[in-house]
Structure 1
Amino acid sequence: MTAADLPNLDRKSFLLPDENALRAPFPDHKPRILLLYGSLRERSYSRFLTLEAQQLLDAMGAETRVFHADGLPLPDHGTPDHPKVQELREAMLWSEGRSGQVLNAMAR
């Protein structure tokens, strides 16, 4: 069977993929990583671990931010325009990667 036997096929539709067109544009900045932790205590092991991870990521060339959840309203108790909710939303939009849990406040 040849292509002539299949008149419903348009040969122009069978283009080879362009490898350069499939690649994401190369960023002109360091990788942006948002680090989250859930404890509000001053001497929290999860906080210490997050700050240690921040130091390691910074040493490896990443740009990092740590989000402190103190003042963040509980789910269903805050409004989308709450300053702490807006701060978290902006930080998540800034980041290209994150560690920790995605908080319920982002579902709004």
Structure 2
Amino acid sequence: MVREDGKRNFVLREEDGTETSVFSGSMPRQAALKAARRLDPAGSEDDAKSDAVEIRLREKGTDKVHIFDAWAWNSSAPEDKPGWMEGKITKGNVSKKGIEHLDE
């Protein structure tokens, strides 16, 4: 369901069908990128991509489940970072595999 601000809510589904975290975004990929940043990060992007994890995001209010391969890695913070930011940040990326429809 689309909110007034144009964003949609997506729920992270585990393999057993339980739903845990909620991520919002105007597109499914935007929510998937937020979910990817919560994965255990690898040392570099190349290492992380080889260890991609499948994540499933169900769009709230629908039976659509968006399936992505996701990976995360540690990177150096930018030079113009704010004072509160640490020296390392976690970056993430995703690759869409497809959409499934629930039969529930």
Tell me which structure has the larger Cα radius of gyration: 1
> TM-score category by the smaller chain?
under 0.3
Higher strand share: 2
TM-score relative to the length of structure 2: 0.26
Higher helix share: 1
Q: Which has the higher contact order (CA 8 A, sep 6+)?
A: 1
